[in-house]
Structure 1
């Protein structure tokens, strides 16, 4: 709706008088007197679409969409960023794969705003050349990372986080654009479910207090394992330099 009018199938329909102006009649006017040409009608349609998106709960801080969500039908990245952005004090994260730059930028912004972030990672996945852990460590002293050190079979396979001890996220979706159903959505927002490299994953968001408390106890136990690599920045810096050398001369490491 735009002040009593709406765009419909190529013509402007007035609700108050019931008058219809065909698309080929040149200029007409909105009730406010604003001239509307054919290109103007096209732009107005785009504005209407953007308006409908801006009024969604996710865009303007409405209630979080708790419950089950599935990619690639939904963009789980958007849900994650919305939930993370509610943090005021702490975020505890256990994430197997983490290559999503939009989420890493969100975490960096929150850390600069005073949120303490603990990120628990797997010792194999953190070696991915697109992994965001080292970049995050460079952004803020409020970001802390520990790595599970064990044999290759005993991986840290969780994909979960807890925001301020009250909002719990679990599921099968890693923090990667294909895993979150965001790979195609970034390029084709209206048909993102048809994009390539779209994984079938789920995300469960809950504000249940008992579930949150259980995850907090579990996370604290994982975080405090004696075998963890507790200060990984130096290790990750060395790995980065070795990877660069490998890419430069083609040698293996």
Structure 2
């Protein structure tokens, strides 16, 4: 599904600031893969490269066997529609209702209005917000806003959902409800999910695979239960030692 090969990203070549260094990672269709590391390790930069919001300095990312940075025209548009992104901080449009926020990406691709209405209604039911459709983001709790962000990311029926710290601003009870929703999306829709997080508990709860990133490099990766049971890297050991 996703093959990342020798991926590097340098933000300031004159100062040699390497956010990512020769990253290699494979994520299979249907996986829920957690990318975990300390602050500044390169997690969000990796996600932004997969989402095509950053262009790597070298290396490649393949999705379904296609190098995403070599695509053009309709192929590129189709690929972008296959990727849904849940941003840290929600990134909702405050002057638009919940219904309008979810509809926004469908309006951009000029989907007919009747189809947009049906799709939005389905997504509102999926995330449990049908009764909030005409309200605005300022009227919602943090957990409800995150549900809107997830629904919007799913609007184009993506194959891959990329989540940047989806629970970082949420209390424990709300965190569990969001993780439950993501698990249901993975199971019922078959969506592959990549979660960027610094929380061991999030990875334990939902991820079947984990990649530990440290100073821009993948320290180790594999099945979550195996990596956490017998961590091989110092980075993984440190994260587990700090897990309270």
TM-score by length of 1: 0.26
- Greater fraction of residues in helix: 2
- Greater fraction of residues in strand: 2
Higher RCO, Cα 8 Å, sep 6+: 2
